Amino acid sequence: MTQSKVQGLRPATQLVHGGTMRSGFGELSEALFLTQGYVYESMEVAEARFKGQTPGFIYSRYSNPTVAMFEERMALLEGAEAARATASGMAAVTASVMGQVRAGDHVVAARALFGSCLYIIEDLLPRFGVETTLVDGGDLEQWRAAMRPTTKVCFLESPTNPGLEVYDIRAIADIAHAGGATLVVDNVFATPMLQRPLELGADIVVYSATKHVDGHGRCLGGVILTSQALIDQHFHNYLRQTGPALSPFNAWVLLKSLESLPVRVAHQVRSAGAIADFLATQPGVERVIYPGRDDHPQADLIKRQMKGGSTLVSFDLAGGKAGAFRFANALSIVTISNNLGDAKSIITHPATTTHQRLTPEARAAMGITEGMVRLSVGLEDPQDLIDDIAQALQAVRAPGLAAE
């Protein structure tokens, strides 16, 4: 199927056929090109290719047919002009910011970020003379007040990890653009199925493909999606020369996973919604945060900005850390791990794992309590998950907890 034909199709179809490049063997399933380099019929052909006068592959740090298929499929899904794949989500985040700034520039970011993203903003950028300001992402006045003539990039993650707060992407994009900056959105928690930041005014979208895109806990990967102009201006050379290239093998795994992304995310969102509703009725559960529920603080914004809730539910258990540990240890189907978007349901205690690097005050500012757990809902039957959660809650309520 030609790319122009695929462009007019709906996402589920694009994710099965988009980007496919068949070799001369006419394989049905996309080929895995495990090659670093490419051969040229003559020196003249090599010269023309290196000068960019003729299209073609040169070296797999720059591009590779399997990686290119993954990039093309992701670009179709996101409605982006261009995509560049990276070895991990963090490689994509780092490039999305570092590619755009130089000493003397300024970056504004929402405070509620994944720990490694916070490291880039708070620790790494200042080492190279880039000043940064962290704001409460839900407070538009703080975004406006933080802008300076030197601000080049605004960065946010929505929904946030693990508080599942949702920020107004359109309004923040307007603030960024009024100040001459770009808006980068880390859309990992939403997935491309539930939120399309480029349509809301964002300039650049980044993903950890390690999460829902792979969805089976097998490999790391990342991707930057934006306009061709921004790729040419900020990212093309940065990525070619610094080399955070995605391995062709991982690209192949991710490419095949994209075929089932809509089905997986739809199932996970349905299950997560049912689990959130169940949790909200349970004694011992002090707070449920789920972007698909009417009691979510940004429920109206979510209806405007997102196509569905989330595959994740965060909730506070009575008894603080001891209550959370006892609950998680009592689960038998849900696994203790720190990944998300996986086929397997996963429970995480952010205060002692993903966010343990933060001070208690910083955690409190992000709404992370000692009793909070983050549940990434997988592909299991939702009733089995609810039964597992119910029996674990029973264990939390058992006498003896009060003494711990």
| Phi, psi angles (nearest 5°) of residue 70 | -65, -45
Q: Closest approach of Cβ 333 to ligand PLP, in Å?
A: 22
Residue 93 touching ligand PLP (CB under 6 A) = yes
Q: Quick one: how far is CA 12 from the chain centroid?
A: 19
- Interface residue with ligand PLP among 33, 114, 143, 325 (CB under 6 A) is 114
Restricting to residues 147-176, name those near ligand PLP by CB under 6 A: 157, 161
C-alpha to C-alpha distances, 102 to 29, 98, 130, nearest whole angstrom: 43, 8, 7
Which CB atom, from 115 or from 297, has the smaller least distance to ligand PLP?
Answer: 115
- Identify which range of 82-90, 240-248, 365-373, 380-388 contacts ligand PLP by CB under 6 A: 82-90
Give the number of residues in contact with ligand PLP, rule: CB under 6 A: 15
Dihedral class, residue 341 (left if φ above 0, else alpha if ψ from -120 to 50, else beta):
left
Q: Count the Cβ atoms, other than its own, within 10 Å of residue 176.
A: 25
Residue 188 touching ligand PLP (CB under 6 A) = yes
CB closest to ligand PLP, residue no: 89
- Identify which range of 111-119, 124-132, 135-143, 288-296 contacts ligand PLP by CB under 6 A: 111-119
- Identify which range of 114-122, 249-257, 265-273, 277-285 contacts ligand PLP by CB under 6 A: 114-122
Which CB atom, from 254 or from 317, has the smaller least distance to ligand PLP?
Answer: 254
Which CB atom, from 157 or from 316, has the smaller least distance to ligand PLP?
Answer: 157
Among 112, 154, 111, 105, CA closest to 126: 105
Q: Give CA–CA dist 155/161, Å, rounded.
A: 14
Q: Give CA–CA dist 364/376, Å, rounded.
A: 22
Q: Closest approach of Cβ 281 to ligand PLP, in Å?
A: 29
**Which tokens hold the place of 15?**
């994710």
Q: Give CA–CA dist 270/254, Å, rounded.
A: 23
Q: Give CA–CA dist 66/250, Å, rounded.
A: 9
Restricting to residues 304-363, name those near ligand PLP by CB under 6 A: none
- Interface residue with ligand PLP among 11, 19, 65, 89 (CB under 6 A) is 89
Restricting to residues 222-241, name those near ligand PLP by CB under 6 A: 222
Residue 208 touching ligand PLP (CB under 6 A) = yes
Q: How are beta strands 106-110 and 131-135 bridged, if at all?
A: parallel
Residue 215 touching ligand PLP (CB under 6 A) = no
Which CB atom, from 252 or from 278, has the smaller least distance to ligand PLP?
Answer: 252
Q: Closest approach of Cβ 248 to ligand PLP, in Å?
A: 17
Which CB atom, from 254 or from 318, has the smaller least distance to ligand PLP?
Answer: 254
* 122 within 8 A of 107, measured Cβ to Cβ: no
Among 305, 311, 298, CA closest to 165: 298
Among 286, 370, 366, 367, CA closest to 320: 370
Q: Give CA–CA dist 144/83, Å, rounded.
A: 29
Q: Closest approach of Cβ 209 to ligand PLP, in Å?
A: 7
- Interface residue with ligand PLP among 98, 153, 220, 224 (CB under 6 A) is 220
Q: Closest approach of Cβ 176 to ligand PLP, in Å?
A: 19
DSSP letters, 29-85, are SPP----SB---SSHHHHHHHHTTSS----BTTT--HHHHHHHHHHHHHHT-SEEEE
Would you give the binding string for ligand PLP spanning residues 116-135, x where CB under 6 A is met? xx------------------
Q: Give CA–CA dist 70/255, Å, rounded.
A: 5
Which CB atom, from 157 or from 370, has the smaller least distance to ligand PLP?
Answer: 157
Chain positions contacting ligand PLP, by CB under 6 A: 88-90, 93, 114, 116-117, 157, 161, 186, 188, 208, 210, 220, 222
